[in-house]
Chain A
């Protein structure tokens, strides 16, 4: 059987995320800091888009990202993917994504991501669009996703393309 392991960041990576929290484009919600939400641009007619972000939990209790909504999509889903002997496998995450106490989780290419299903319009490079994330403890938090070039592999910082 295939299993998907939540990717818990090492403490050093958490420190890095905390350090970068001062950069623009972050959202604070209670003990959660939601950092650099970004999505890939999509083509006309493309029904699905992917989004990524990092969540740092400075609190003493675990929280859990459960779901989301957005005016740009019929449905917002949580997915994960893994490489399995040269085969890419993507799966919907149904039980939410845990954000450990005093820890962090990163939704990034190659792992957890948000899928915008049933896009009502293409996501255009350079724009931002709102997404309301639903957390078990922190409740609903609305963040702005920045739309980046389709070939992006991480969030752009300060307007610079990170390839």
Chain B
């Protein structure tokens, strides 16, 4: 990473009287700049994944498939994949993202099956592997639904830089806050980029085409 952004922390004290949203936006811009630099460096590599970038997210994991089989990063190797994290009680982002991946896959036509779609439930308390299998089956295209123990999920969340946390609710139950980005991984398990929840289908489709090219 070769970002030489000015340190955005300096003006924070002066901004205290104003809106804290200002700080969040600055942080968002800063992270965006870091990603932009990483992407530009990636581009200079002429297709070969730049080492730091390729290893920015990903790494080893061990999870369980709906049929009880153990799935690791080695199981997925050999074909690119789009992996993201959520839970079946997720009101909107998860079903919308899964349906979108199914829709984009269809648009790839003959290339449709050249990548895997992987959905990791970070809610093992509610989502058992078999339930997750039933859930992903709703989307009409093969989706690999995975979950694991708390420790296994911690490992993959750390590898992918994913945030998720249980939040207690008034009735005694809990919900899950979680990162919504979709991570695109090469056939070698190297990080290739992300698809953002708010990004257009056209942009997302281009990224998928590059991933499977």
Residues of chain A whose beta carbon lies under 8 Å from any beta carbon of chain B: 40-48, 50, 75, 77, 79, 81, 83-92, 94, 109-110, 113, 115, 117, 149-153, 163
Contact = CB atoms under 8 A, between A and B. Distances in A.
Given A45-B130, A151-B99, A92 B91 contact: no
22 contacts: A43-B135, A43-B137, A43-B138, A45-B131, A81-B93, A84-B177, A86-B179, A86-B196, A87-B180, A88-B178, A88-B180, A89-B177, A92-B175, A94-B170, A109-B92, A115-B91, A150-B95, A151-B95, A151-B99, A151-B100, A152-B99, A163-B103
Interface in B141-165: 163
Most chain B CB within a 10 A radius of its CB, from A47, A87, A117:
A87
Contact of A44 (B95, B134, B173, B180): B134
A9 to B, nearest CB: 18
A27 B171 CA distance: 30
B137 A92 contact: no
Contacts of B197: 83, 86
A85 B28 contact: yes
B179 A87 contact: yes
B74 interface: no
A48 B167 contact: no
Contact of A43 (B28, B134, B167, B171): B134
Contacts of A153: 96
A153 B198 CA distance: 14
A47 B119 CA distance: 18
Contact of B92 (A43, A47, A50, A77): A50
B96 A46 contact: no
A5 to B, nearest CB: 12
B27 interface: yes
A46 B134 contact: yes
Contacts, number: 98
Nearest to B88: A46
Contact of A87 (B96, B103, B178): B178
B102 to A, nearest CB: 7
A151 B101 CA distance: 10
Closest 5 CB pairs of A and B: A151-B99, A43-B134, A109-B92, A45-B131, A48-B89
Nearest to B86: A88
B175 A90 contact: yes
B139 interface: yes
Most chain B CB within a 10 A radius of its CB, from A40, A46, A152:
A46
Contacts of B96: 109, 151, 153
A86 B28 CA distance: 10
Contact of B88 (A48, A109, A149, A163): A48
Nearest to B181: A86
B135 A113 contact: no
Given A41-B138, A87-B177, 20 more contacts: A42-B138, A45-B130, A45-B134, A50-B91, A50-B92, A75-B171, A77-B171, A81-B92, A81-B93, A84-B177, A87-B179, A87-B180, A88-B90, A89-B177, A109-B92, A117-B173, A150-B99, A150-B139, A151-B98, A151-B100
